[in-house]
Amino acid sequence: MPTKAIWEGRECDVRVDSDLESNWSVSILSGEYDPVSLIRRPAAPLMIKLRAKTRWLAMDAGLKALKAQGKISDYTIEPRPQAELEAEAAEKAKLAAKRAAGAKAVAEEEEEA
C-alpha cells in the first residue's frame, strides 16, 4: 500500500526526501501542472520540513502535522518496516539495561555508605 494524501479532494502522491542527517522534507505532489508556466512543469507541492530519526517517522510526523494544520484532509501510510521496529526495540532494551546497571551501581554505593 503506497502512501497517499487527500489534498483538495484529490488523492496525491507523497514524497519524503532527506536533507542532511536527521532533516527531512515531506512533499505532497498534486500531479497537476503549473498553469502559468510556458513550459510544462509540475505545480508547486505542499511541503513541510522536520527532524526525525528515520524516513518512516518523518513521513508519519509530516502527514500528521499537515492534517492538524488543515492542509490535507486525510492520508494513508505504508506500514512501518519490520527492521525499523526491531532496531527501535533493541535500542530500548539497551537503554533499559544501562538504567538497570546504573541503578544497581547506585544501590551498591548506598549499601557501602
Distance between CA 77 and CA 98 in Å, rounded?
34
What is this structure's pTM?
0.72
Q: Taking the alpha carbons of 4, 5, 7, 9 in that order, is the dihedral positive or negative?
A: positive
Residues in CB range of 29: below 8 A, 6 or more apart = 12, 13, 14, 15, 42, 45
Q: What are the structural domain ranges in the chain?
A: 1-79, 81-113
pLDDT of residue 107: 66
20-72 tens-digit pLDDT: 788 999 999 887 887 777 787 778 889 999 999 889 999 999 999 999 999 99
